[in-house]
Amino acid sequence: MRTDTAGVGMPVDATLAGAWVERWERQQERYAVEREERFTVIVDVVEQVVGPRGRPLIADLGSGPGSLSARVAERLPHAEVIAVDIDPLLLALGRAGHPRVTRWVETLIGRPGWIEDLGLDRPLDAVLSSTALHYPPPEALLGIYRDLARALRPGGVLVNGDHLVPQEPSLAELALAIGRRRSQRRGVGTAEDWSQWWEAARGIPEFAELLAARERQLPPSEGGDNGLSATQHAELLRVAGFRQAGSVWQYGASSVLVALR
C-alpha cells in the first residue's frame, strides 16, 4: 500500500499525463454506453446527498487516472476526494493530470486492511465507483460492501456506475443490443481499445518504471465479470447493511445503482 504517493520517485510530466489521460477517456467510451451522462448522474446523486455538508469525504474506488474523481472535485470543490486504485501508472497519470483531487491511494479493493489503507480521519460521506465492482465474485463483493457499510456515516451513499445486465436472458439480450446500437450511432466503436492503449503506453520511456511496478502490484486475473445484475447487487448491499438500494438511471446495460446507509 502507498497512500498519496502515486508517482513519488517516478514523476510524470503534467503535459504528458494530460495527453494520456485524454487518450484514456476516449478509449473508455468504447465500453460505457452514454459514459458522460452516467458520470453526470453519479455526481448529481453525490451533490444531492452530501453537497450541502461542509467538507464531505468521498472515495472513488477503482479510480484509474481519476476520470470520475476529477468530475466530482470540479463540481464539489469543497469536498475531500480520495482516488483509490491498485495501478501505479494510472494513479501517477491522474495525480499529474488532475490536481484538484485531494489524495491518491494505492491499494487493492477488498484485500484485508484495505479500508485502513485509505487513512480516513472520519466516516465517509459517499463512495463512488465506475466499472470496478463487476469483477469480484459475489462472496468477495459482499465483504467489500460490508466494509463500506462500516466506513460510511449513517445517511451516507454508495453510487456505482457499471455494466449491469438484467437477470432475464431476453431482457439482457435487448439491453446489450440497445447499447450496441447507441455506440454505432455515436461512432465510438472505432476508437482505440483498452489493449491498444496499454500496448502504446509500453512504448513510452517515462512510463517504464511505473509499468514495472504495475506488473508487481496487480493481482492475477480472476476471469472478468461476476455477471451480477443491478437487482443482485442491491440484494447484496441490503445484506451488507445498507437500508435501501436500487437503480436510478439506466441505458441499455449501463446503469447507476445507489445504496443509502
* Mean pLDDT value across residues 153-159: 97
pLDDT digits (tens, 9 = 90+) for 116-142: 999 999 999 999 999 999 999 999 999
pLDDT the model gives residue 4: 61
Q: How far apart, in whole angstroms, are the C-alpha atoms of residue 218 and residue 34?
A: 29
Q: For residue 223, what pLDDT is reported?
A: 54
Overall average pLDDT of the 77-83 stretch: 97
For residue 221, what pLDDT band results from cuts at 50, 70 and 90? Answer: low
Residue 5, pLDDT above cutoff 90? no
**Residue 17: domain span:** 2-260
pLDDT for 224 beyond 80: no
Closest by CA to 81, choosing from 73, 90, 89, is 73
pLDDT higher than 70, residue 158: yes
CA distance 189 to 210: 29
Mean pLDDT score, 213-232: 83
pLDDT at 260 over 70: yes
Cα(242)–Cα(148) distance, integer angstroms: 9
Residue 158: CATH number of its domain: 3.40.50.150
Question: Which residue from 76, 92, 175, 90 is spatially nearest to 128, judged by alpha carbons?
Answer: 76
Q: Which residues are 104's β-sheet partners?
A: 83
First to last CA, the chain: 27
Per DSSP, the three-state class of 205 is helix
Least confident of 1-5, 114-118, 195-199: 1-5
Write out pLDDT tens, residues 88-108.
999 999 999 999 999 999 999
Judge whether 78 and 106 are in contact, CB under 8 Å.
no
Region 176-184: mean pLDDT is 83
pLDDT confidence of 175, banded at 50, 70, 90? Answer: confident
Residue ranges of the alpha helices (H) in the chain? 14-28, 35-50, 67-75, 88-97, 114-117, 138-151, 169-186, 194-201, 208-217, 230-240
User: At which residue does the C-alpha cell 451522462 appear?
Assistant: 37
Q: How far apart are CA 63 and CA 39, in angstroms?
A: 12
3-state secondary structure of 54: coil
Question: Would you say 162 and 129 are in contact if contact means Cβ atoms under 8 Å apart?
Answer: yes
Read off the pLDDT band of 222 (50, 70, 90).
low
Do 23 and 197 form a contact (C-beta atoms < 8 A)?
Answer: yes
Looking at residue 8, its pLDDT comes to 45
Q: What is the mean pLDDT of the chain?
A: 91
Report how many domains make up the chain: 1
Q: How many CB atoms lie within 10 A of CB 76?
A: 21
Show the cell assigned to 219: 493481482
pLDDT for 18-52, tens place per residue? 999 999 999 998 888 789 999 999 999 999 999 88
**How far is 27 from 197, CA to CA, in rounded Å?**
7
Mean pLDDT, rounded, for 53-82: 96
Label residue 80 by pLDDT band (50, 70, 90): very high
